[in-house]
Amino acid sequence: MLIRVFENEVQAGQAAALLIGAQIVRKPDSVIGLATGSSPVTAYLELVRMCQAGVVDWSRVTTFNLDEYVGLAPDHHQSYRAFMMKNLFSKVNIRPEAIHVPNGIAANPAEECLTYERTIRAAGGVDLQLLGLGRNGHIGFNEPDTLFSTLTHVVDLTDDTIDANARFFVKRSDVPKQAISMGVGTIMQARQIIMLVTGTDKARAVSGMVQGMIDPKCQGSILQAHSNVTVLLDRAAATALNR
């Protein structure tokens, strides 16, 4: 694991954008795995800037998002697809058919999970996966104690995750209780992983991920077993690291 600590979250986000941009410059038909939430917003802003400046061309890129809420239609304003459209996809020259986000309103969610896995494989697998880290150490929506071998699956969200995500909804009861998420088994197949974490509320989870034992209680800790992971932190997220 390479760990880089930046003074603030803007710098950490810009560094993530640089690494993603470099991947696309090196391999224009890259398959990129993407995350939602607060953590990647600066990175997406920077990627949009790089695209609009003609530096990074998304015309041959394929993307797979980590997750989507069950029950939210793709055009629901709180859906992760809508988040991605707003923050990235509508502002770069990606082909609409190259965008993949699990369908939260699939009639058969289990079938949707299998199809998602097959589509990732058919695209050649993920070259670079961007991740954020939950306060409870989750990656994607893989909550504590999920089997590390799990592939894309339907997840019951924990109270902690529902609390953490309530800030994006009018009221807590509006937060969906389930999501479709790539599993840790899916994430670990990515050839390169960029983990972007900022803020003091993540410091404990960062410590568990980087210097704890590999333990399903902290799903991020499995990244210690991946051969190409770069962890980008701001100072606040790094405060519990002691080496």
Known catalytic residues are 67, 136, 138, 143
The region of 15-23, 25-33, 137-145, 183-191 touching ligand F6R under the rule CB under 6 A is 137-145
CB of 67 to ligand F6R, least distance (A): 5
132 lies in the site for ligand F6R, by CB under 6 A = yes
- CB neighbours of residue 85 within 10 Å: 17
C-alpha dihedral sign at 155, 163, 77, 40? negative
The region of 100-108, 129-137, 208-216, 217-225 touching ligand F6R under the rule CB under 6 A is 129-137
The single-letter code of the amino acid at 233 is: L
CB of 38 to ligand F6R, least distance (A): 4
Helix runs in the chain, H state only: 9-26, 41-52, 80-87, 109-122, 159-165, 184-187, 203-211
The dihedral over CA atoms of 55, 119, 142, 192, expressed in degrees to the nearest 10, equals: -40
Partners of 67 in the β-ladder = 181
134 lies in the site for ligand F6R, by CB under 6 A = yes
Q: How far apart are CA 150 and CA 167, in angstroms?
A: 28
Contact partners, residue 114, CB within 8 Å, separation at least 6: 152
> How many contiguous H segments (helices) and E segments (strands) does the chain have?
7, 10
Using the rule CB under 6 A, which residue among 10, 37, 178, 224 binds ligand F6R?
37
CB of 53 to ligand F6R, least distance (A): 26
38 lies in the site for ligand F6R, by CB under 6 A = yes
183 lies in the site for ligand F6R, by CB under 6 A = no
State the number of binding residues for ligand F6R (CB under 6 A).
14
Q: How far apart are CA 18 and CA 22, in angstroms?
A: 6
Partners of 131 in the β-ladder = 195
138 lies in the site for ligand F6R, by CB under 6 A = yes
Helix (H, G, I), strand (E, B) or coil at 62: strand
CB of 39 to ligand F6R, least distance (A): 3
CB of 37 to ligand F6R, least distance (A): 3
* Encoded tokens for 39: 């953590």
The region of 29-37, 55-63, 94-102, 220-228 touching ligand F6R under the rule CB under 6 A is 29-37
The region of 34-42, 87-95, 111-119, 203-211 touching ligand F6R under the rule CB under 6 A is 34-42
Which residues from 41-100 bind ligand F6R, rule CB under 6 A? 66-67
190 lies in the site for ligand F6R, by CB under 6 A = no
Q: How many CA atoms lie within 13 A of 91 on its CB side?
A: 17
35 lies in the site for ligand F6R, by CB under 6 A = yes
155 lies in the site for ligand F6R, by CB under 6 A = no
- Residues at the contact surface with ligand F6R, assessed by CB under 6 A: 35-39, 66-67, 132-134, 138-141
